[in-house]
Each structure stands twice: as C-alpha cells, then as structure tokens.
Amino acid sequence: MGEPRFTTYQIRILVCLALVNLVNYVDRQVIYPLFPLVARDFSLTYTELGSLAGAFSLVHALGSLPLGWLADRVSRKKVVSYSVFFWSGATFLSGIAGSFRSLVAARALVGVGEAAYTPAGTAMITASFPRSLRARVQGIFDTGMFLGGAGGIALGGIIAAHWGWRSAFFVVGIPGLLLALCLFRLPEVKAVKQERAVPVRDLFRIPAYLMVLISGWFITFASNSYIIWGPTFVQQYKGFNVEETGIILGSLLVASGVLGVAAGAALADRLAGKFVWGRPLTVAMGFLVSCPLLVCAFRAPNRPFLLISFFAGVFFMAWYHGPVTATIHDLTPSRAHSTAMAIYYFWVNLFATLPAAWLTGKVADVYDLQTGMYVAVSSQALGGVCFLGVVYLIHRHGLHAPAESSGPDENGEDGIPLGSLQSPGDASPV
C-alpha cells in the first residue's frame, strides 16, 4: 500500500515551517565558529564564552513555557510569525554590540523569539498530517534544523574570515524578516472540534513522557556541548582555521545530518507500525551506536579519520530528530502538543543546554577541551540508555494520553483521566 499523497495545504505548511526552522538554527548557531574572534576582541575565557551561549539558553528556556501555553490557546500561526520577526531583529542587533555585555543581551533576545517557534511549529505540523507519518514529517521539519545549524557554522566561518564577525550577524538576520511576512499568509491549522484545554498536571501523569524528559536532559547536554564547543575543538586540536571549520565541518554536518534524519524518521515510522514503542527504540539505537564513533573522531590521529568518524557518528546521532517530537506527540493529546513540547524545551534548555555551555567550558579551563568532549559523549550514552526506559514504559503501559472528558475526574476536579491507548498503526489525522 503506497503512502498517501500530500495536499497543497500540507506541502505549504511543511515547506514554510521547515524553511523558518532553517533560519532559526542559522541565527542560533552562527555565533559558535565566531567564538575565537569574539574572545580575542573582548579578552574572554572559555567560561565567559560559555556564559554567552548560556544567556541564550536561559532566556529560551524561560520563554518556552508561557509561549507554548499561549500557542495552544490562541493562534499558533501568529505566535510563530511574530516570534520570527523578533529573533531576526535581535540577531541583527548582535552585530552592533559594543561590549561583551551588550552582545550577551542581544543573544538573550534571540532566545525570546526562538522560544515560541518550535513548540507551536511542531504542533502545526502534527495537526496537519496522519499519525502514521508523524516521525517523517517532523524529520523533514528537523532537516531545516540540520541545514540551518550547519549553514550557520559555515556562514559564520566564511563571512568572519572575509568581513569580520559582526558582518555574520547582519547577513543572517535579514532572511528571517522576509520569511515572517510569508508566514502571515499561511492558513490557520484548524483544531479538532470540541477539544478542551488539557491541564498541565495531566501531562506529568504520563510515565513515559516523564522518562522522555529525563532522557532529553542527557541528549541535549551532549548535543549542545558538541555544537557549542565542536568548532573551537577542531580549530585548537585538529589544525582547522575559521574558514575550514565553516566549510568542511559544516558540509559534513549537512550531509550526515540530513541523511541521518531521513533514515531515522523512516525507520521510526516503520517500527511504530509494528511496535507501539518503535519510535523511542529508534532514538535509543541511534545514540548508542553513535557514541563510540564520536570518541574515535575526538581521538583521530589525522583529518581523514576524523572526518569519516564524525560523519558516521552524526549520522546515527541524527536518528533522534523527528522520532523524539513524534513520541512526545504520541504520548499527549493534540490540544496539549505545544504545551508538551514547551515543557520539554523549558526543561532541557534550562537544565541541560545551560550547563552544557558553562560546564564544558569549565572542564576545559580546569583540564582541557578534549576532556570536555568526553564528558559530552558520556552524557549521550546515558541518554540512549534512558530512552530504553521509555521503550520499557510504553511496552508496559502503552501510549497513554489524557483522554477527553466532559466532566470532573474521580476526585471531583476538572481534570482529564489517563487511559486512552493509541494504536501504533493509526493513520487518522490528529
């Protein structure tokens, strides 16, 4: 049986939001290859550079909860559109920062805008496609993240090498302003009729969702350590200059990441059609296979070995894009999809991304940056093991989501009881 064809409406939603996700990550990642240049201009330590990344993560985390909650109760499209305007303008302001403190403030404002985008954007996509395609369409959305992340690293390195680090912020800030205008023309995604708001407390009554949060901590700590400190690592330990870091590392990241996202999303949806826990199993396998490959990359004696190991490690690590979002949406009701993702991003950004920026930099100051990279790999391995716990909980309890209810729960409160088991093969629209 062939896959269903996408409608024009579905294609517009997916393409537009994936493009904005690309710009999202360009603006987010462009600063990391600029770290050595920024450190030179402002006379910064590793720890201070880590605080620059940490400011973004802190504000991004704190903004996720209220903006995700808002997206589930008002227009998700408007929340997305205004957020793109905000972070693009803040990116442009980063280029005119006259001091380290003003640069930190500008990057923090970028975090405000980007906090609103992903929870609302992923919810719009899930609401527009069948459940059987959930990991694949979220994988396409996350492909924009990989292309944008790699593009940010590449553009940052290339532009900085020729025109200075400030010019990089000016160049990457403009496309988002133009895309925001296009988003206002998107149709609204209609909510399911007679759906009611889901109390946040009900999401914390789902055991597998709680385990996803725990697993996500380790995963996010590892991935952000690589992203934040990887460009600096290859410049200091592997002999790359700023431009080579952008071109070579960025190109490999695009190729391996896009292939990994596509492979992982397709495998996750296929396994989900056979096993209710198929999607989280894909995440666990990808992370555990990736760990030894990345260790080989960090210990590589020459560039060819480094690049081959890095390519393979990122390929398997990228399997989690798509299946993680799909798993969270599988476990929660559609009316709470933005909120569930906002809680996830609040948790991982505040308690994982922030320590990744600071702690890895602190380890580098005390020991060396290579030791910091080994700490990140250890965290990745723990994340893979914890996602096996998600598999176990779903295998034991099924995909439990708060069921819609027209009355108070057994305690007399206006809550929504747990207990609706979702079939892994259900292809009906959400």
Q: How far apart are the first and last CA of the chain?
A: 21
* 259 pLDDT more than 90: yes
In a domain, 211, yes or no: yes
User: How is residue 367 annotated by DSSP?
Assistant: S
pLDDT in tens, 325-361: 999 999 988 888 888 988 998 888 788 877 887 788 8
Compute the distance between CA of residue 77 and CA of residue 262 in angstroms, rounded to an integer.
26
pLDDT at 429: 31
Q: In DSSP terms, which residues pair with 130 in a beta bridge?
A: 429
Cα(396)–Cα(394) distance, integer angstroms:
5
Whether 391 is covered by a domain: the verdict is yes
Is residue 324 included in any domain, yes or no?
yes
pLDDT digits (tens, 9 = 90+) for 276-293: 899 999 999 999 999 999
382-408 burial: b if 16+ Cβ within 10 Å, else e: bbbebbbbbbebbeeebbbbbebeeee
On whether residue 3 sits in a domain, the answer given is no
pLDDT at residue number 263: 94
Give the least confident one: 49-63, 208-222, 306-320: 49-63
Tokens of residue 314, six digits: 């990122």
3-state helix, strand, coil in the chain (%, to 5): 75, 0, 20
In a domain, 426, yes or no: no
Amino acid at position 383, single letter: G
402 has pLDDT over 60:
no
Q: Which domain holds residue 342?
A: 8-421
Domain count, the chain: 1
Residue identified by tokens 């996010």 is 220
How does residue 410 score in pLDDT terms, banded at 50, 70 and 90?
very low
Q: Name every residue whose Cβ is closer than 8 Å to that of residue 133 and which is 6 or more positions away in sequence.
A: 3, 4, 269, 427
The Cα–Cα gap between 229 and 159 comes to: 19
65-120 confidence digits (pLDDT tens): 888 888 877 778 888 888 888 888 888 888 888 888 899 888 888 888 778 788 88
Note whether residue 1 is domain-resident: no
107 assigned to some structural domain? yes
Question: Buried b vs exposed e over 250-281: b needs ≥16 C-beta within 10 Å?
Answer: bebbbebbbbbbbbbbebbbebbeeebbbbbb
Q: Reduced to 3 states, what is the DSSP secondary structure of residue 289?
A: helix
Q: Mean pLDDT over residues 396-414, rounded?
A: 47
Average pLDDT over residues 21-43: 85
Which pTM was predicted? 0.75
Average pLDDT estimate for 48-56 = 79
Stated as kind and residue range, the H or E segment containing 401 is strand 400-402
Would the pLDDT of 2 be above 80? Answer: no
Q: Tokens 């330590």 — which residue? A: 45
Is residue 190 over pLDDT 80?
Answer: no
Give a yes or no: residue 325 inside a domain: yes
The domain that contains 336 carries what CATH number?
1.20.1250.20
